Structure 1
Amino acid sequence: MNVALKILEKKALGKLRKDKRSINSDNPYEEWVDVGKNGKTKRKKRERPIPEGLSRNDAKILRKVRKRAYRWDQGFGCCCFGFRFGWSAIIGLVPVVGDAIELLMSLALIKSASKVDGGLPKRLYSMMVTNIIIDFATGFVPLIGDLVDVFYRANTRNAWLLDAYLSEKAKALREGALQDPDTGNKIRVPSELQVAPGDRDVEQGVESMAMAEPARSTPAVVPPARTPAPRGNAPPPSASRTATTPGRSLTGQRPGGGPWDPRDR
């Protein structure tokens, strides 16, 4: 496990050195892409995609760290001077108390980043803490410290460190092995870093239609309603129901004669 983390650490730092982007000025949460519409190409801003192959936990943490780092360091723009600043610079203007709040915010960001599967490599974790210490120390210098805080952007630096690490981790998970950049040797991805198929993150949180579609069930067969027979076709009353009581008649006469009885009506 330690060997695997060291290899991922080397590859992540190598990726940051290889890319010519500035890790303290590029937006870690959003990116500009070319979109073609009606034969014209336009620039559109969108959320940066999550590397394919990460677990839901790692993807969730990466999105959270990216978004918070952007809000704290680059959430607002200045049209007059052409630079961006965030809540970290605004809160840092308050003497002592502002610097303490800014420190707690940055430490909370590192704590969230360290909850990825398998944890963070020690060197990357130390680099994140160092960025915060430098930012916190310069904040005590009046005026100059606030300007340094605007341009140093410790949270953005830490977000790019996490992004580089998880990008290399996702690549290793897709390939099923880690390759040491120094020796070229390959080792199997440790079980602590492996991701179950059902725990993989779906891009931008959109699940497949097969998972979202409800199960189809066969509708129950409803028996047809019984239609009552018309009255004209009703069978004649049975003889048992038309038979009169022996010894009585509707005409008032007793069969075989005899005195009239009122009950015969």
Structure 2
Amino acid sequence: MEQQNLENTDRAFTRVRRLSDFLDNAITIPGTSYRIGIDPLLGLIPGLGDYLGAFLSGYIIFESARLGASRATLGRMFFNVILETILGLIPGLGDIFDVFWKANAKNRTLLEKQIASSEKREKADWLFLFILLLGLLLIIIGVASLSLWILVSIIQASPFF
């Protein structure tokens, strides 16, 4: 039974590592050793890209909770994703920020440190995780609504429409 739990843990961590690499380090910039992922490229899709990136980052938080991350670790992960999501919405500047911030790689490192740590920690409960992910969803909806309101206001104020 314990062998099966260890295998499930390994598979879950492998999923987190692969998704993190895909989002933040999938592509080497030619002529450099610097890597970027799909997340900054998703941000270039108007209206949807940053939200899809936040959703995928939320999955990393979910898996981290299943792997036993503490409340403090999940809280830091949540902060990384929210910061990247909100700043990522700023046209141009947000895309540059996404290239360098790499919230998913930071979150994977936090999870690795948590798993490697031998200190006793209290695993986050499912209610805490639910509140974090609900908060992420509400912030995404709020930012999307604000963006839509700004766009509609600009269109209505424009003499061309």
- For residues 49 and 14 of structure 2, the distance between their equivalents in structure 1, rounded to whole angstroms, comes to 26
Tell me if 1:148 matches 2:97.
yes
Q: Which has the higher helix share?
A: 2
Structure 1 length normalisation: TM-score? 0.42
In structure 2, the partner of 1:111 is 62
Structure 2 length normalisation: TM-score? 0.67
The residue type equivalent to 1:144 in the other structure is: L
Q: Deviations over 1:172-205 (max 9, x none)?
A: 4xxxxx57xxxxxxxxx99x9xxxxxxxxxxxxx
> Does the C-alpha gap of structure 1 residues 144 and 81 become closer, same or farther in structure 2, counting only changes over 3 Å?
farther
Structure 1: unaligned runs, 5 residues or longer = 1-53, 173-177, 180-188, 193-265
In structure 1, the partner of 2:107 is 158
Deviation of the 1:82 alpha carbon: 4.3
1:135 maps to which of 79, 84, 87: 84
Tell me if 1:74 matches 2:52.
no
Deviation of the 1:58 alpha carbon: 2.2
Q: Is the 8 A contact 2:26 2:38 kept in 1?
A: yes
Structure 2: unaligned runs, 5 residues or longer = 124-161
1:57 maps to which of 8, 13, 21: 8
- For residues 154 and 87 of structure 1, the distance between their equivalents in structure 2, rounded to whole angstroms, comes to 12
Root-mean-square deviation over aligned CA pairs = 2.2
Deviation of the 1:81 alpha carbon: 5.0
Deviation of the 1:114 alpha carbon: 1.1
Tell me if 1:120 matches 2:55.
no
In structure 2, the partner of 1:84 is 35
Q: How does 1:30-41 map to 2 (within 5 A)?
A: none
- For residues 78 and 152 of structure 1, the distance between their equivalents in structure 2, rounded to whole angstroms, comes to 16
Runs of 4+ deviating beyond 3 Å = none
Count of residues in correspondence between the two structures: 119
- For residues 6 and 32 of structure 2, the distance between their equivalents in structure 1, rounded to whole angstroms, comes to 41
Q: How does 1:1-265 map to 2 (within 5 A)?
A: 55-80=6-31, 82-116=33-67, 119-168=68-117, 172=118, 178=119
- For residues 32 and 45 of structure 2, the distance between their equivalents in structure 1, rounded to whole angstroms, comes to 22
